[in-house]
């Protein structure tokens, strides 16, 4: 455990835990309302923010947060209009964000797309003390929203029309989900990278669903899986010099496959039990 | 003074829709609909597909904007109405399947939010959820995943969700659609108990079916206009209604329809 002696590793591990908790937490709601790709879109848009941070010589993390929040609110407004052209508008927003990032980074003094690589795929050695402060504050916000408002957010993601008739402030909560997703993207950016952020929002949830029946159970299991793969991926990256994002996401996919393997016999057993119950009913019928 | 206002509130209709017009896109769907429902009444909205009956109930709960006319609920103009916990709403089959599993209890608990809103759920909230599940005879399925239910059971869960708030007014959009006869009987029983306890009910139906004895009044829509408002048409008369497209619930006895609500 000599890796804990390095300050950069301590920072990376703390950031990894926070990514592992926050990404699946907001991801559960996005998957619930079938918006799994939203994280990916926000990741693209955040590129413009990172590049602006370089250009203006301010913190890329805070700048990315700002731009990602604006982008996510735009996506939510497009979604809530429900127009058929929404698809195209979203694509424009995604690729506009990515193109803007590439453009702006080259305008920054001494900047080139090479500066972006660690933001695209994650890197444990570049997590600065300032980054950690930002990540802790942002992660606290994400956890407060996703866990504190889980009954309300569950209701609007499950059935938006019904939620409106219960009198919940649905429009506000929808915007809150979008903002929280944007904030999560910047929390995860340094460790997992902008291009792989969405994977951490979706894969742990997909893996958890293999064995769960309820929403709270899925949310909790996904967060546990998230922390496990994020921590072990970061540790592995310490030994094998690779971008942490790639390692973490491959581990997550590994967990998904294991869970799928485990769930198959489980589902078979449940089906057998259901069949057995049916047979009992049939015999009852015959008796009558 | 206070008793006078209370008496006045009791006289006022629970739902009062006057001269309502609404359109979906450029197509007018409601063309001057008057609909009032008084306390304790059970009113069925009938009509052929596309007659505007579903739009009418969605307008009553504010989900379709009115282009003209007025709406008041419990004597309060709709714009100022905030008392959502007095209403239990069962939407017509929820549109999309949810991407994450949820247990029956979790879904029914979300109906309680109209009362607890941003508060922490208390013992009374949990008890109300259990009661609602028992009312539709789904108590044994509380921890089952809604994805594993049949269409009829699923509809019972959505009705339990509306009952969990202990509403004075139940508004249901085609609660019997895609529900086999056995499940229709369970739902009719649950509704009978609500009515006996003094609930007011407005429901969209395609046919009166097992609910017939409960209905006090039927409002029939055709092309966005009210064409009948009075005693429910006889079963034979129902078939004689213009635009009736002969969908028989008893056909469902042999082959259960595959419409499964939230899950389809």
Compare all CA atoms of chain A with the CA of B95 and give the residue at the minimum distance: A159
Query: Which chain A residues are Cβ-neighbours of B148 within 8 angstroms?
Result: 213
Query: Which chain A residues are Cβ-neighbours of B118 within 8 angstroms?
Result: 149, 152
| Structure confidence by residue, pLDDT tens digits, A13-43 | 999 999 999 999 999 999 998 888 889 999 9
Return residues 160-179 of A near B (CB < 8 Å): 161-168
pLDDT the model gives residue B232: 86
pLDDT the model gives residue A280: 53
- Residues B206-225: what's their mean pLDDT? 89
Query: How far apart (Å, rounded) are the C-alpha atoms in residues B43 and B216?
Result: 6
CA dihedral B160, B165, B171, B177 (to 10 degrees): -10
The more confidently predicted of residues B260 and A151 is A151
Compare all CA atoms of chain A with the CA of B99 and give the residue at the minimum distance: A32
Contact of A82 with A67, CB cutoff 8 Å: no
Query: How far apart (Å, rounded) are the C-alpha atoms in residues A128 and A139?
Result: 16
β-strand partners of B218: B44, B230
Closest partner CB to A152 (pick from B62, B102, B113): B113
CATH number of the structural domain B13-96+168-263:
3.40.50.300
Is the Cβ pair B106, A215 closer than 8 Å? Answer: yes
Query: How far apart (Å, rounded) are the C-alpha atoms in residues A140 and A163?
Result: 26
pLDDT the model gives residue B10: 57
Q: Is the pLDDT of residue B1 over 50?
A: no
- Exposed/middle/buried for A211, CB within 10 Å: 0-12, 13-18, 19+? middle
Å between B110 CA and nearest CA of chain A: 6
| Structure confidence by residue, pLDDT tens digits, A191-226 | 999 999 999 999 999 999 999 999 999 999 999 999
Confidence of residue B246 (pLDDT cuts 50, 70, 90): very low
Residue A150: CB atoms within 10 Å: 16
The three-state secondary structure class of A150 is helix
Compare all CA atoms of chain B with the CA of A214 and give the residue at the minimum distance: B102
Is the Cβ pair B114, A36 closer than 8 Å? Answer: no
Residue A196: CB atoms within 10 Å: 26
pLDDT the model gives residue B241: 53
**Closest among B12, B10, B15 to B169, alpha carbons compared:** B15
Q: Is the pLDDT of residue B5 over 80?
A: no
Q: Which residues contact B149 (CB under 8 A, 6 or more apart)?
A: B104, B141, B157, B260, B263
Listed range (A194-203, B101-110, B186-195) with the worst mean pLDDT: B186-195
| Structure confidence by residue, pLDDT tens digits, B39-83 | 999 999 999 888 899 999 999 999 999 999 999 999 899 999 999
User: Where do the domains of chain A lie?
Assistant: 2-287
Is the Cβ pair A161, B94 closer than 8 Å? Answer: yes
User: Where do the domains of chain B lie?
Assistant: 13-96+168-263
End-to-end CA distance of chain B: 54
Is B92 touching A (CB cutoff 8 A)? no
Query: Which chain A residues are Cβ-neighbours of B117 within 8 angstroms?
Result: 167-168
Is the Cβ pair A164, B62 closer than 8 Å? Answer: yes
* Mutation for A interface: B80, B86, B99, most A CBs within 10 A: B99
Q: Is the pLDDT of residue B259 over 60?
A: no
Q: Is the pLDDT of residue A159 over 50?
A: yes
Query: Which chain B residues are Cβ-neighbours of A154 within 8 angstroms?
Result: 102, 106, 110
- Residues B96-115: what's their mean pLDDT? 87
Confidence of residue A45 (pLDDT cuts 50, 70, 90): very high
Is the Cβ pair B106, A154 closer than 8 Å? Answer: yes
Is the Cβ pair B101, A214 closer than 8 Å? Answer: yes
The CATH superfamily label for domain A2-287 reads ABC transporter involved in vitamin B12 uptake, BtuC (1.10.3470.10)
E strands present in A15-135: none
User: What ipTM is given for this predicted complex?
Assistant: 0.86
Q: Is the pLDDT of residue A255 over 90?
A: yes
pLDDT the model gives residue A274: 66
Q: Is the pLDDT of residue B2 over 60?
A: no
Is the Cβ pair B101, A166 closer than 8 Å? Answer: no
**pTM here?**
0.86
Å between B221 CA and nearest CA of chain A: 23
- DSSP per position, B213-263: GG-SEEEEEETTEEEEEESPPPHHHHHHSTT-----GGGGGTS-----GGG
The pLDDT mean for chain A works out to: 89
């Amino acid at each position: 455990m000599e890796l804990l002696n390095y300050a950069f590793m301590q920072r990376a591990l703390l950031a990894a835990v926070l990514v592992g908790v926050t990404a699946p937490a907001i991801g559960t709601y996005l998957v619930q309302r079938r918006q799994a790709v939203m994280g990916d879109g926000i990741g693209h848009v955040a590129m413009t923010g990172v590049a602006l941070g370089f250009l203006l010589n301010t913190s890329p993390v805070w700048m990315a947060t700002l731009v990602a929040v604006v982008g996510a609110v735009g996506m939510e407004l497009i979604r809530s209009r429900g127009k058929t052209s929404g698809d195209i508008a979203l694509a424009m927003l995604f690729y506009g964000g990515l193109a803007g990032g590439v453009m702006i980074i080259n305008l920054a003094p001494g900047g080139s797309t090479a500066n972006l690589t660690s933001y695209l795929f994650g890197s444990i050695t570049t997590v600065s003390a300032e980054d950690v402060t930002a990540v802790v504050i942002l992660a606290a916000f994400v956890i407060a929203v996703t866990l504190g408002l889980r009954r309300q957010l569950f209701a609007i993601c499950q059935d938006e029309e019904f939620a409106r008739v219960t009198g919940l402030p649905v429009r506000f909560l929808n915007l809150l989900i979008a903002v929280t997703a944007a904030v999560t993207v910047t929390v995860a950016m340094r460790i997992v990278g902008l291009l792989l952020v969405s994977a951490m929002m979706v894969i742990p949830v997909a893996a958890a669903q293999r064995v769960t029946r309820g929403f709270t159970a899925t949310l909790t299991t996904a967060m546990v899986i998230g922390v496990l793969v994020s921590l072990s991926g970061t540790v592995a990256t310490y030994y094998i010099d690779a971008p942490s994002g790639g390692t973490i996401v491959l581990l997550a996919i590994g967990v998904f496959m294991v869970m799928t393997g485990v769930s198959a016999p489980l589902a078979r057993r449940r089906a057998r039990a259901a069949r057995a119950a049916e047979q009992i009913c049939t015999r009852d019928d015959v008796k009558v | 003074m206070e008793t006078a206002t209370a008496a006045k509130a009791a006289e006022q209709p629970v739902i009062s829709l006057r001269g309502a017009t609404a359109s979906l896109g450029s197509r007018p769907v409601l063309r001057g609909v008057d609909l009032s429902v008084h306390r304790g009444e059970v009113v069925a909205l009938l009509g052929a597909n596309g007659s505007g009956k579903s739009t009418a109930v969605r307008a009553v709960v504010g989900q379709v904007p009115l282009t003209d006319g007025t709406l008041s609920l419990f004597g309060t103009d709709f714009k100022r109405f905030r008392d959502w916990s007095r209403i239990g709403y069962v939407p017509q089959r929820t549109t999309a399947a949810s991407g994450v599993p949820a247990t029956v209890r979790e879904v029914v608990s979300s109906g309680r939010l109209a009362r607890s809103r941003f508060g922490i759920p208390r013992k009374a909230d949990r008890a109300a959820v259990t009661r609602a599940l028992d009312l539709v005879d789904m108590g044994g399925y509380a921890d089952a995943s809604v994805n594993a239910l049949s269409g009829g059971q699923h509809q019972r869960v959505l009705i339990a969700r509306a009952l969990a708030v202990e509403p004075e007014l139940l508004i249901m959009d085609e609660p019997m659609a895609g529900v086999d006869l056995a499940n229709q009987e369970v739902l009719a029983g649950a509704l009978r108990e609500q009515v006996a306890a003094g609930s007011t009910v407005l429901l969209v139906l395609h046919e009166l079916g097992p609910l017939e004895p409960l209905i006090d009044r039927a409002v029939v829509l055709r092309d966005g206009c009210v064409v009948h408002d009075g005693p429910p048409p006889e079963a034979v008369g129902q078939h004689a209604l213009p635009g009736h497209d002969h969908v028989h619930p008893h056909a469902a006895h042999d082959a259960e329809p595959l419409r499964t609500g939230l899950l389809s």
